[in-house]
Structure 1
Amino acid sequence: MKSIKIGLLGKVVIAIILGIGVGLVAPDWISRISITFNGLFSNFLNFIVPLIILGLIAPGIADLGKGAGRLLLLTSILAYAFTISTGLFAYFSGKIFLPNLLASDGTPQLEDVTKTLEPYFTLQMPPMFEVMTALIIAFTLGLGIAFIKGDTLKNGLEEFKDIVMKVINHVIIPILPYYIFGIFLNMTVTGQVASILSIFIKIIVFIFILTVILLILQFVVAGAIAKVNPFKALKNMLTAYLTALGTQSSAATIPVTYQQTLKNKVDQDIASFVIPLCATIHLSGSMLKITLCAMAVMLMNGDVANTEIFIGFIFLLGITMIAAPGVPGGAIMAALGVLSSVLGFSEDSLGLMIALYIGMDSFGTACNVTGDGAIALIINKIYKKDVDETIRLQEEANM
């Protein structure tokens, strides 16, 4: 018999169910063990997040700096514009609908949910530097390496990135289900889990509706620029969407995304450049989820989502997620530092963000890769216009 492999989403669902079930019958000492474990893991995350930011962002920016000139610049700007506009769309949509959506059942307060019992002990793990310091160092090193075209430091950062990826893949990701198990066990003990689950379901449905609207808007814009039928183009990309739902990876879906993009009459050379690049730098679906989940968690804490702070958060998050590793939940791992430094999220809030995000990870990935097709249409139109202009100028010169 072949062993059954359970993906990260499946493990998180099992962890939530077990956490609720054990929490209904567990004595306080079991909950305190869980709180102790979660406290240690939270402190480890606090220590490792600046290193994750440095290890992923610096080589990522350096790689972008050595790309294919103008085409790279155009694609990067367009992908960033798509991601940022999605964040603003998500924020203002959440500002309008989330308060009423979450208030109907009475929004629980997280501080009351997770801190009723105390851990048996704590172990402090202070980070080497703050998150903002890590971001500044990463941008400085990445841009500097791209500017001087240096290889020595670049190779060192690539090896450091490999170490960070090992930590993510073999330490953080495997432990996450146990961490989420502890969160929901403790919520059950304190009697708030029913309200939390009700909010989770509402947020998931709300984000799915906004995802559909977002993709229609993206392809309407792309269709208007590229002079193609947006709904036919979106229909052609649905195969990539469904594939991404299963793989939960933009990188693993690249072959399918590429083939469906060609069906939209995108030039082969453009598709072969834009699709792999956008699999790394275009993260509209991830931005939509993180923005709305962050707003929901803030409402659960009784906080107000200040517009100026949130807009700054969206612009910074758009850059930070470029380095998101190609693993399920990678974007939220890269975003933890910005959530804590800009929005002031506590360990408990970060834990709920992780659970919410992973619960919808495949939908965000599917949104990302489908939107890549819209970007390819726009880049293809710009490229064709440049080619036609070059041909026209050459013909005039030969006359």
Structure 2
Amino acid sequence: MAKEFRIGLLPRIGIAIVAGILIGLFAPDWLTRIFVTFNVVFGQFLSFAIPLIIVGLITPAIASLGRGAGKWLGITAGIAYLSTLLAGLLALVVGVLVYPYILSVGNIEDQGNPEDALLAPFFKLEMPPVFSVMTALVLAFVLGVGLTITKGRALYDATVEFREIINKVISTIIIPLLPIYIFGIILNMTVAGEVFRVIGTFLSIIVLVFALTLVVLLVQYTIAGVMNKKNPLVMLKTMLPAYVTALGTSSSAATIPVTLRQAMKMGVSEPVAYFVVPLCATVHLAGSTLKITSFALAIMYISGIEINIGLMIGFVFMLGITMVAAPGVPGGAIVAASGLLTSMLGFTEPQVGLMIATYIAIDSFGTATNVTGDGALAAIVDKLSAGRFGSPRPVVIDRVSTDGEAEA
């Protein structure tokens, strides 16, 4: 019997992005609103599922570590925060050196929030999460570390079974529907015309930021490659599906299933992947920090605001912490950072609106840098642990294969 032909996840996502742009050029509003309605419902489901994914993956991963769980939790979080800080400081240094030559001081036109121009869904279906992302992280840490101390078998078995449920949700619902979700996002933004308008305003900054994200990824994977004695470019190529998925979802948390799969395909051990990837999806925000710092600095230059280097360094440090509280949804990082823009940098409402407009229009590139970097961090932790994570307690775990199907 001939093997059934399947289109892989990466080509499906690429098709969804191209189709969204092309169809968006002539699609009627009613057709667009159908996909917008689907996206709202699916987005609500993602918001509901993301905290459960974090608890379901991180808790048994920590519990399987045994003694020393707190140590590796601290090491992983420390590496992620260091990576985030260095990316933000890189953006600050490059901006201070380059912006005076490519930007001119003047008044900023209030372009507003691009979300105001997007078409509305036919209806909304609310699916409030059981708890927030931060609550999920704390709960996963408490349960996981607690299980390493008490060695309770019943509760551990329950977390493993819950992980199996989460894996089924990922492989049978989230992964198959991701291309449609991405298509809807691109379609709506194309119909609204917001992407091209905002990108045209800051084209030079966008090009610079994109180049900086590539530098960050190359540095991360060079370090990971040297430590693991692997070709950094081959490792980076393996993580490409995660990068492309994040381009469409604009959410590190929503891309966890793909990032997790590609990290293990890259050679990261299963216990480390299950521990590091969901954790870094929330605490590793190198791309987002780089992007927000770059655009905030650009708006300050254009507005004629005096640049205080000490204040900007403090802003970067606080930004890395504040965005951890960002919801695992598209645009969450800039929403969480808006308070810092106002309180620390003195941004006015129009300036914050311009930040939101620019960030949302190209949100996906920073997020893609975040999730792709998670693979490098997982490889680094895997090497540092040198097998100390051990093997998970015997359990059959459903993985997500490269074409989005479940496999034993």
* Equivalence for 1:20: none
Query: SS of the counterpart of 1:256?
Result: helix
Q: How far is 1:309 from its partner? A: 0.7
Q: How far is 1:251 from its partner? A: 1.7
Higher helix share: 1
Matched, 1:108 2:110: no
Higher Rg: 1
2:278 aligns with one of 260, 276, 279: 276
* Equivalence for 1:77: 78
TM-score (norm 1): 0.60
* Equivalence for 1:394: none
Q: How far apart, in 2, do the equivalents of 1:359 and 1:348 lie?
A: 16
* Equivalence for 1:248: 250
Corresponding pairs, count: 268
Q: How far apart, in 2, do the equivalents of 1:215 and 1:84 lie?
A: 14
Paired residues for 1:1-399 under 5 Å? 3-4=31-32, 68-103=69-104, 107-110=105-108, 113=109, 198-384=200-386, 386=388
Q: How far apart, in 1, do the equivalents of 2:93 and 2:35 lie?
A: 36
Q: How far apart, in 1, do the equivalents of 2:362 and 2:73 lie?
A: 30
Instruction: Give the aligned residue type for 2:87.
Output: T
Query: SS of the counterpart of 1:371?
Result: helix
Deviation per CA, 1:108-128: give whole Å up to 9, x if none. Answer: 223xx459xxxxxxxxxxxxx
* Equivalence for 2:165: none
Determine if contact 1:270/1:376 at 8 Å carries over to the other structure. yes
Determine if contact 1:243/1:253 at 8 Å carries over to the other structure. yes
Instruction: Give the aligned residue type for 1:376.
Output: A
Query: SS of the counterpart of 1:203?
Result: helix
Deviation per CA, 1:311-362: give whole Å up to 9, x if none. Answer: 1110011000111101111000000111111111111110010011111111
How big is the alpha-carbon RMSD for the aligned residues of Structure 1 and Structure 2?
3.9
Determine if contact 1:102/1:199 at 8 Å carries over to the other structure. no
Determine if contact 1:108/1:300 at 8 Å carries over to the other structure. yes
Q: How far apart, in 1, do the equivalents of 2:262 and 2:99 lie?
A: 35
Q: How far is 1:3 from its partner? A: 4.1
Q: How far apart, in 2, do the equivalents of 1:355 and 1:290 lie?
A: 12
Determine if contact 2:271/2:389 at 8 Å carries over to the other structure. no
Identify unmatched segments of 5+ residues in structure 2.
Answer: 1-27, 40-50, 63-68, 112-133, 146-187, 391-408
Instruction: Give the aligned residue type for 2:88.
Output: G
Query: SS of the counterpart of 2:364?
Result: helix
Q: How far is 1:233 from its partner? A: 0.7
Q: How far apart, in 2, do the equivalents of 1:85 and 1:6 lie?
A: 39
Distance of aligned partners of 1:100 and 1:266 in 2 relative to their CA distance in 1, 3 Å threshold: same
Q: How far is 1:287 from its partner? A: 0.4
Q: How far apart, in 1, do the equivalents of 2:251 and 2:320 lie?
A: 18
Distance of aligned partners of 1:7 and 1:225 in 2 relative to their CA distance in 1, 3 Å threshold: farther
Q: How far apart, in 1, do the equivalents of 2:256 and 2:110 lie?
A: 41
Distance of aligned partners of 1:387 and 1:307 in 2 relative to their CA distance in 1, 3 Å threshold: same
Percentage of identical aligned residues = 47
Deviation per CA, 1:123-150: give whole Å up to 9, x if none. Answer: xxxxxxxxxxxxxxx9xxx9xx97xx9x
